[in-house]
């Protein structure tokens, strides 16, 4: 290397600076550099599952040779993602990266169809044959799953009596790295010793609720790729009054009484109405007889003749089944052949005739 001094400086320090300046000018003139100058615009890249991410880098080199680019995913043992000379991939890609990556001339790496397993820190190396030092850098990639709308679950009913406890659970079906916040009446919760949050803020416990806790509650879930708010839920707090206590006690007592009555009551049998007996059967059970010692009928004088104005009173005698008696004709009583109407008329005629004879 030839160094030409144009002038001799006075101080020793100026002499050294002058020598270094001339050395650098000579190096640039010959086209040689000491190292690859690499830059990384973003050291942290955020993306979502199923989307894509560009791990961007850039480098400067005065060499005409193509760069050798190597990307590795940092694990306990680093995993080679891709290695290329320029844009030409060298070797065979791992199965999980096939048809999912693209390398650019400046060394940037594009990942398609991201998975949760793609998350991590990526180390990149760019080297050129004529360069003495290799350019190195790293980029961190985070992959998150979008959040679904959260919903609030309760271990009890939303209508509470004063002094009860309630637990609100903010849940969602999908989403990673979620952070939870609770709001009351559209505003953040204030400081209250009765309010307790779980370590991740997902559970909200309210102990000994008061009438002031009667309000609308909601939860806000946030992760690196979005913010989602749940539908509001209303907590109703009431104070049990003495009238309510009396009505409740009376209602319970009435219910117990009705249950007891229903358990002890049995339906009574209906009294059967006696069947209407036929005339012949009734006649079989009853016997019509004429008493021989009957009183004479009253005799009235009509047109100079004696006329009977009243009939004799017929006496009836109850006969038990199986008994035999004598009717007015002197014949035995036969239940199978009761007396006919003609016999009754004949008996009445004879009785009337006997009465007329006695009158004469």
CATH of the domain at 134: 2.60.40.10
Flag whether 249 is in a domain: no
CB neighbours of 222 closer than 8 A, spacing ≥ 6? 147, 178, 179, 181, 228
Q: Are residues 109 and 171 in the same domain?
A: no
Query: Computed from CA positions of residues 61, 67, 73, 77, in that sequence, does the dihedral angle turn out positive or negative?
Result: negative
Give percent helix, percent strand, percent coil of the chain, each to the nearest 5: 20, 35, 45
| Distance (Å, whole) CA 239 – CA 338 | 88
Give the pLDDT confidence score for residue 140 in this predicted structure. Answer: 96
> In whole angstroms, what is the distance from residue 24 CA to residue 33 CA?
10
Task: Judge if 19 and 99 occupy the same domain.
Answer: no
Q: Is residue 245 part of a domain?
A: no
Residues 21 and 42 in one domain: no
Is 331 in the same domain as 297?
Answer: yes
Residue tagged 């030092």 (tokens): 133
Last residue of a domain, one of 238, 270, 292: 238
- 274 within some domain: no
**Domain end residue (candidates: 114, 144, 174):** 144
pLDDT score of 273: 58
Q: Judge whether 178 lies within some domain.
A: yes
CA distance 89 to 111: 15
Same-domain check for residues 354 and 296: yes
Its pTM stands at 0.54
* Same domain for 179 and 119: no
Overall number of domains in the chain: 4
Nearest alpha carbon to residue 139 among 118, 156, 159: 118
- Classify residue 260: in a domain, yes or no: no
Are residues 43 and 67 part of one domain?
yes
Domain assignment present for residue 250? The answer is no
- The pLDDT assigned to 264 comes to 76
Q: In the prediction, which pLDDT does 5 show?
A: 39
Identify whether the C-beta of residue 125 lies closer than 8 Å to the C-beta of residue 70. yes
Same domain, 23 and 49: no
In this structure, are 15 and 44 located in the same domain?
A: no
248 assigned to some structural domain: no
Is residue 215 domain-resident? yes
Of 144, 173, 207, the residue at which a domain comes to its end is: 144
Q: Can you name the residues that pair with 226 across neighbouring β-strands?
A: 223
For residue 13, give its domain range. Answer: 1-30
- The tens place of each residue's pLDDT in the chain, 360 residues long, gives 444 434 444 555 666 665 555 555 444 444 444 567 888 899 999 999 999 999 999 988 777 788 899 999 999 999 999 999 989 999 899 999 999 999 998 999 999 999 999 999 999 999 887 666 788 999 999 999 999 999 999 877 667 777 788 899 999 999 999 999 999 998 998 888 889 999 999 999 999 888 888 899 999 999 988 999 999 998 888 876 644 555 566 677 777 888 787 777 666 555 555 555 544 444 444 444 444 444 454 444 444 545 444 444 444 444 444 444 444 444 555 555 555 555 655 666 776 776 666 655
């Amino acid at each position: 290397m030839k160094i030409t001094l144009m002038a001799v400086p006075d101080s020793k320090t100026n002499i050294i600076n002058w020598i270094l300046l001339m050395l650098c000018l000579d190096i640039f003139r010959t086209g040689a550099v000491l190292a690859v100058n690499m830059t990384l615009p973003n050291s942290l890249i955020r993306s979502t599952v199923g989307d894509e991410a560009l791990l961007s880098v850039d480098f400067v080199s005065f060499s005409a040779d193509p760069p050798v680019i190597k990307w590795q995913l940092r694990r306990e043992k680093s995993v080679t993602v891709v290695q290329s000379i320029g844009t030409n991939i060298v070797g065979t890609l791992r199965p999980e990266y096939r048809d999912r990556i693209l390398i650019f001339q400046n060394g940037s790496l594009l990942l398609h169809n991201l998975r949760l397993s793609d998350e991590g820190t990526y180390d990149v190396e760019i080297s050129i044959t004529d360069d003495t030092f290799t350019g190195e850098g790293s980029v961190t990639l985070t992959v998150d799953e979008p959040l679904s709308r959260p919903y609030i679950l309760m271990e009890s009913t939303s209508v509470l009596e004063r002094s009860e406890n309630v637990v609100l659970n903010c849940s969602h079906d999908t989403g990673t790295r979620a952070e939870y916040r609770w709001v009351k009446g559209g505003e953040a919760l204030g400081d209250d010793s009765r309010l307790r949050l779980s370590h991740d803020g997902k559970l909200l416990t309210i102990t000994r609720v008061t009438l002031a806790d009667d309000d609308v509650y909601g939860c806000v879930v946030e992760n690196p790729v979005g913010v989602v708010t749940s539908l509001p839920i209303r907590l109703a707090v009431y104070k049990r009054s003495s009238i309510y206590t009396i009505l409740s006690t009376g209602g319970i007592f009435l219910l117990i009484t009705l249950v007891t009555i229903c358990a002890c009551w049995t339906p009574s049998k209906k009294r059967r109405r006696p069947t209407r007996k036929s005339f012949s059967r009734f006649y079989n059970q009853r016997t019509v007889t004429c008493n021989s010692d009957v009183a004479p009928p009253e005799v009235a004088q009509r047109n100079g003749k004696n006329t009977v104005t009243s009939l004799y009173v017929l006496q009836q005698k109850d006969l038990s089944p199986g008994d035999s008696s004598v009717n007015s004709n002197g014949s035995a009583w036969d239940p199978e052949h009761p007396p006919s109407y003609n016999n009754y008329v004949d008996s009445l005629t004879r009785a009337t005739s006997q009465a007329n004879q006695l009158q004469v």
